[in-house]
């Protein structure tokens, strides 16, 4: 029985949308208390890993007029990651069916076309009754639902403040950059 339990507990933990024990539970803000499969290898990763960082969450798609934003998002991430910014992408097929591929196809596209190095997670639903609980919480806290692909949610270091930006706000948008700088200046 012990052998079976040692096998099943990690198996169920990996398949759930609950945080993994990578960060102490009391150190993780409730908003980041989720785990998702990574895009490239589908291994679970806890968003608690980003506790104390400024997090820019983006719902992405490979065949959208805004897809070129991958380039700017990657440059933004490269420029500010050492100061505490992390960009995280969540592919979705919710808008115009512009992300029809498998996780592997999406990962290859992002890496080969745009050189994406920022964390990307497996494809999810971000709107409606079937919205992923993390996105449902982002919507609740910002009072703004994603209207299209490349909608952005900026989370402060404490995981308490969430600001939404439309798909038309590119990664060099002055207002968004000013808010990123404000959030980065705050101590964790």
Known catalytic residues are 64
Answer whether 119's CB lies under 8 Å from 45's CB. yes
Structure-block tokens of residue 128: 């409606």
Distance CA 153, CA 139 (A): 9
Q: DSSP labels for 24-69? A: -GGGS-GGG--EEEBTTT--EEEGGGGTTSEEEEEEE-SSSTTTTH
Tokens 């999406």 identify what position?
Answer: 106
């Amino acid at each position: 029985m012990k052998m079976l339990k040692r096998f099943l507990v990690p198996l169920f933990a990996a398949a759930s949308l609950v945080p993994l024990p990578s960060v102490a539970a009391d150190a993780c803000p409730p908003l980041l208390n989720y785990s998702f499969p990574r895009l490239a290898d589908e291994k679970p990763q806890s968003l608690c890993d980003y506790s104390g960082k400024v997090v820019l969450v983006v719902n992405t798609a490979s065949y959208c007029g805004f897809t070129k934003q991958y380039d700017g998002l990657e440059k933004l991430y490269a420029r500010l990651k050492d100061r505490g910014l992390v960009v995280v992408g969540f592919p979705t097929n919710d808008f115009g069916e512009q992300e029809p591929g498998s996780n592997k196809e999406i990962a290859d596209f992002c890496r080969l076309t745009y050189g994406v190095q920022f964390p990307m997670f497996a494809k999810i639903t971000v709107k409606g009754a079937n919205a992923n609980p993390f996105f449902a919480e982002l919507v609740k806290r910002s009072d703004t639902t994603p209207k299209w692909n490349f909608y952005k949610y900026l989370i402060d270091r404490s995981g308490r403040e969430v600001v939404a930006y439309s798909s038309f706000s590119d990664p060099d948008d002055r207002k968004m950059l000013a808010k990123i700088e404000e959030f980065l200046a705050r101590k964790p």
